[in-house]
Structure 1
């Protein structure tokens, strides 16, 4: 794979510390989520530990990663200037502080904490939505990725409002006279979060990434499958969420069918891109190759449960036992694979791109350790298989525990690999990336790191 794809505008990207700060913080939330998950396995987490675990992984790891990725690649892919770097930094502080306090409230059984810290998360995510929406407003004609990102921003806005209302509901009888109950709001919130904000972003990004980094194009049956996903998925998410909100099975069933059809269509498109790939295999492709059977398998296994009882709380994320296929297998491996390119890409552009032709420089895929990449893939895939087998086959709890430990080790190895990339190749230390101007060892000024055309508003 070449150092930089030829069809992106790298001089439009924000300073490298902005997206990297998001990715490092998201990695911290991932490790925190893994630790809470291990604690839950041995019954060592008090309070609402399961909710804390879910929020650390989804709101913390995946959503913060999405925030950083959109902040980086919307300007790069669309050839436009980020609306505001200051808002990009502010969104992370608000979401990060809000999530830490929110999780602490859940674990410590302090519902009064949920309202202020949930409010911080709400403001932080809305800051992100506003900043990226204003950035995309400069685009004259939207492509398939940009349309997906706009839809995802809308889902982010809705899910955070629903989440804040749920936080309020811990201390006040908010839903008593509204015609909906808390279970319905929880179902709608989870649907809009996982299938709306997260999966819509994943689909949109992969339309760019899967074609760009396999050097292929959509053709043949892809042209018929793409509208199934591009139209069916967002419509399906809205109907599924609405049906769960008001407990209307018919509406939810139609939405569920559309979401499942979209997953099968997109999984087939991604599989075709990997089969037709014209470049060398990388850790990113390996993880996408895991995501394909995970997504297709989740859809096929979930179809009977969703078509029969789409509003049942036990079927919130799919068929019983299928949640790991969706969250870890499909979404998680896409995020991990994409980070294997994004983190080295950002650092390579800032550290080595100006040296091309002047001296020998590494390629993007030379920045990370191949042995660590192989190790984390082996651990994560083996752990995923153990978790899925334990859930489907009713295996002893020890198998599930082993799967959890393997996934945890894989996450640690992955995190170490990414941090080594930053440590060995970034012009800024991890402390500088995280703290910015507050880093006591800070040397470069903002003007020294600013990219051409980047807004400092």
Structure 2
């Protein structure tokens, strides 16, 4: 990474994303959305899209703008597109949420809010996909982690397309006998492409590179990596393409979802074994906090796979979808993202501040920008709260769920403060904090 160009607006993506996460958590603690309201109702859709688009998608876009060029050893195709994409995603989501709030009767707004918001989001994601897609295209043949990202970019296109159609149906702009069926049967495809393809599959690809880099491990097993990618792509293709064909032929999507689930389980098993191999082959014996917490997040993903298989076997999956979705979104994805942000933000800050003077004056290490002992308690609270919240959903204890999410919110605030401290160099010892030639970084913008 030394000498790598820094994407100017990456930290802004991270900051906007964390704000959305905190807003969603506060609303859940206040009793807004599931389980106090219907899982498919407008209030729940507000929370779902705050987390999936505002938090996870925004932070993932920012990370990809910085790390896709590292994965493929090519410069980002058009850095000037990154700020307009952030603006479109933020304004589009805000308008979309206003549409859901109107649908839920919280205020009187025009029915076109939903399609307008969806259109802005589609435009924002189009900029993201075009920018990253052209960067990947210039680097063919792609290395293994980049192939996961490419599949994830295809999935966000499917997700956005279905989201746009849903916005037309919910706003009343699309009228016809076929549209209500699309709304009912198309939601699983929308969720698979978004949560499974765009967010999880892309995170798997990026984590391959980050875990190997942070653990000083060699590349993983090529056969396991290939199996994880092929099985994952098969799962996404069967779930999305097969689901679309099933909708078109009006045959239902259950068979497509069952086959996709089996392929996804195989992909996760191969991925988990490969990551375990990275851990065993690592040269850094004492793991840093971010890597340890990434492995804890991976344990949540394993729990999701085990619980899903158990619920399918017992026929109770429909009644536990909300709990599983929460564990995927928070225990796995949010936990993984926060763990990696705890390394990425100090790492980028170190490159920005000390990279230009390295070798000419004494400089601190990257780990000197953070205090792992102080931060550990926030990660413990976060994962404990996430698992407790999942348990409360499984036993249908709405109040207990809100209390557990309050713990998660507190931990998120604590981790957010740690990231700000890293940007401010607050934990760097004074003799090394600002050597000659180094400049205090801006809070939200990287100097590239």
Give the alignment's TM-score, normalised by structure 2: 0.86
Among candidates 361, 365, 368, match of residue 366 of structure 1: 368
Structure 2 residue 227 is the aligned partner of structure 1 residue 233? no
C-alpha deviation, 1:223, in angstroms: 4.2
Structure 2 residue 287 is the aligned partner of structure 1 residue 281? yes
Moved more, 104-113 or 174-183: 174-183
Mapped to 2, the partners of 1:178 and 1:104 lie a distance apart of 22
C-alpha deviation, 1:21, in angstroms: 1.2
Among candidates 294, 303, 311, match of residue 309 of structure 2: 303
C-alpha deviation, 1:384, in angstroms: 1.9
Mapped to 2, the partners of 1:339 and 1:175 lie a distance apart of 46
User: 1:174/1:261 Cα in 2 relative to 1: closer, same or farther (>3 Å)?
Assistant: farther
Mapped to 2, the partners of 1:307 and 1:196 lie a distance apart of 24
C-alpha deviation, 1:308, in angstroms: 7.9
User: 1:78/1:238 Cα in 2 relative to 1: closer, same or farther (>3 Å)?
Assistant: same
Among candidates 18, 21, 39, match of residue 30 of structure 1: 21
User: 1:320/1:167 Cα in 2 relative to 1: closer, same or farther (>3 Å)?
Assistant: closer
Instruction: Determine if contact 2:353/2:441 at 8 Å carries over to the other structure.
Output: no
Mapped to 1, the partners of 2:241 and 2:340 lie a distance apart of 32
C-alpha deviation, 1:93, in angstroms: 0.6
Structure 2 residue 298 is the aligned partner of structure 1 residue 292? yes
Mapped to 2, the partners of 1:260 and 1:162 lie a distance apart of 24
Q: SS of the counterpart of 1:352?
A: helix
User: 1:319/1:300 Cα in 2 relative to 1: closer, same or farther (>3 Å)?
Assistant: farther
Q: SS of the counterpart of 1:40?
A: coil
Moved more, 58-67 or 248-257: 248-257
C-alpha deviation, 1:42, in angstroms: 9.0
Pairs within 5 Å for 1:317-332:
321-332=323-334
Mapped to 2, the partners of 1:184 and 1:309 lie a distance apart of 19
Structure 1's consecutive aligned runs of 4 or more residues displaced over 4 angstroms after TM superposition are 41-47, 242-245, 306-310
Instruction: For residues 11-67 of structure 1, give each alpha carbon's deviation from its aligned partner in whole angstroms, at most 9, with x where no partner exists.
Output: 34244x311111111111111111122123699999822111111111111111111
Moved more, 86-95 or 369-378: 369-378
Give the alignment's TM-score, normalised by structure 1: 0.84
Aligned to 1:182: 183
Unaligned runs of 5+ in 1: 1-7, 437-448, 451-457
Unaligned runs of 5+ in 2: 104-108, 427-438
Structure 2 residue 265 is the aligned partner of structure 1 residue 264? no
Moved more, 122-131 or 39-48: 39-48
Aligned to 1:73: 67
Structure 2 residue 211 is the aligned partner of structure 1 residue 202? no
Pairs within 5 Å for 1:119-158:
119-158=119-158
User: 1:427/1:353 Cα in 2 relative to 1: closer, same or farther (>3 Å)?
Assistant: same
Instruction: For residues 125-172 of structure 1, give each alpha carbon's deviation from its aligned partner in whole angstroms, at most 9, with x where no partner exists.
Output: 011000111112211421001111111111111111111111111123
Mapped to 2, the partners of 1:168 and 1:45 lie a distance apart of 23
User: 1:303/1:14 Cα in 2 relative to 1: closer, same or farther (>3 Å)?
Assistant: same
Mapped to 1, the partners of 2:161 and 2:344 lie a distance apart of 30
Among candidates 429, 434, 448, match of residue 442 of structure 2: 429
Among candidates 340, 351, 355, match of residue 353 of structure 1: 355
Pairs within 5 Å for 1:161-172:
161-170=161-170, 171-172=172-173
Mapped to 2, the partners of 1:239 and 1:97 lie a distance apart of 33
Q: SS of the counterpart of 2:141?
A: coil
Aligned to 2:413: 412
C-alpha deviation, 1:304, in angstroms: 4.2
Structure 2 residue 100 is the aligned partner of structure 1 residue 106? yes
